Chain A
């Protein structure tokens, strides 16, 4: 029974494991595309075909760039973490086991075990250098097993999620321009982006067993606040320079 519950908890964690890339890709694409659409719409004198081509180009370039960025950052993190794990391995080497022992002892005390019990736990762990090393890495150095052992396949998976999320977020605000043009398309485009951002916040809340409305409002406030700030800066620059600058 206990193992079944652990398995359920693990599968839930794995399902949520890519939420960072998904949210980042969607939110970034929605806001950036709204800015692009508004600017191109204005500059193209409401030619919806230009907006569509610009939006599609932005979607493809952004998805590739964000996916590559995610892959490179994950790969760099993996290398740094692996180097840290190698250094940690030297610390817990057989010549100086007491360094790891004292580190785990202090960490367990901090987590609420009394010193005598913590000592006994570490003493038992010390019968297996690999077990002591694993606990030392996770408890003292804060290196989780997934970080230390994350594979290239996971980096690629993260990159694909990021690219697909960006593409989905980038195409949504462009859809109205397939059917309308001018202010109607722009208003619909902004509305779709707002609804999509709200929906992402709602979904995160629901997934985390938190009030979805509060999650949606918090998420929207930050995401749309950032977009509004960019728009305001664009307007300010336009006012100062006398030129029309696409905001976003």
Chain B
């Protein structure tokens, strides 16, 4: 089985330029074109499946929250743009782009798929405005991801400060002591 490794945090996120279905029609979306913005990129196995819609719809439900936080949400699966269009219509509209990652080229670059014809893992990444990877996670195929948790992590990352476990927006951050140690 091919080795699938998530890219290192703080490294440059693998760039991509993919056709996508967006509410405005078919567009080409590149990561470089979103520089200076936070990007939430999530891979899901396939359009027209019975676990994925809960996540796709979950990101749609929280889309305005992500936008308010200055982030762009991108969904990606190996399906083509026409499939994404039908899938978005089936789900009563998706407000963010669905990338057509044919052959899992981008998913493999992100360590989210083992081969060109495998279904990608449920993997989520957050890329900061400098194009560096700030967050990466994967979960087993039968478990849907927590969209609110992804939003919480994004907001925590955006503070640029130390955040304790279960930190929520509005709560106090840890400040690094003068000694430079938290111990």
Contacts and interface: CB of A to CB of B under 8 A. Distances in A.
A33 interface: no
A102 B86 contact: no
B50 A122 contact: yes
Interface of B: 46-51, 83, 86-87, 90, 142
Contacts of B86: 116
Interface residues of A, number: 12
Nearest to B49: A102
A119 B48 contact: yes
A148 B46 CA distance: 33
Contact of B48 (A97, A98, A118): A118
Q: Choose among A97, A101, A116, A122 the residue with the greatest number of B CB atoms under 10 Å from its CB.
A: A116
Contacts of A86: none
Contacts of B87: 116
Interface of A: 97-98, 101-102, 105, 115-116, 118-120, 122, 126
Contacts of A116: 47-48, 83, 86-87, 90
Given A102-B50, A116-B83, 18 more contacts: A98-B50, A101-B50, A102-B49, A102-B51, A105-B48, A105-B49, A105-B50, A115-B46, A115-B47, A115-B83, A116-B47, A116-B86, A116-B87, A116-B90, A119-B49, A119-B90, A122-B50, A126-B50
A102 B51 CA distance: 9
A119 B50 CA distance: 8
Q: Choose among A115, A118, A126 the residue with the greatest number of B CB atoms under 10 Å from its CB.
A: A115
A120 B49 CA distance: 10
Nearest to A98: B50
A122 B90 CA distance: 13
Contacts of A126: 50
A116 B79 CA distance: 11
A98 B51 contact: yes
A120 B110 CA distance: 32
Contacts of B51: 98, 102
Contacts of A115: 46-48, 83
A147 B49 CA distance: 30
A106 to B, nearest CB: 10
Contact of A97 (B46, B49, B50, B142): B50
Contacts of A98: 50-51, 142
A147 B47 CA distance: 35
A119 B47 CA distance: 9
B140 to A, nearest CB: 13
28 contacts: A97-B50, A98-B50, A98-B51, A98-B142, A101-B50, A102-B49, A102-B50, A102-B51, A105-B48, A105-B49, A105-B50, A115-B46, A115-B47, A115-B48, A115-B83, A116-B47, A116-B48, A116-B83, A116-B86, A116-B87, A116-B90, A118-B48, A119-B48, A119-B49, A119-B90, A120-B90, A122-B50, A126-B50
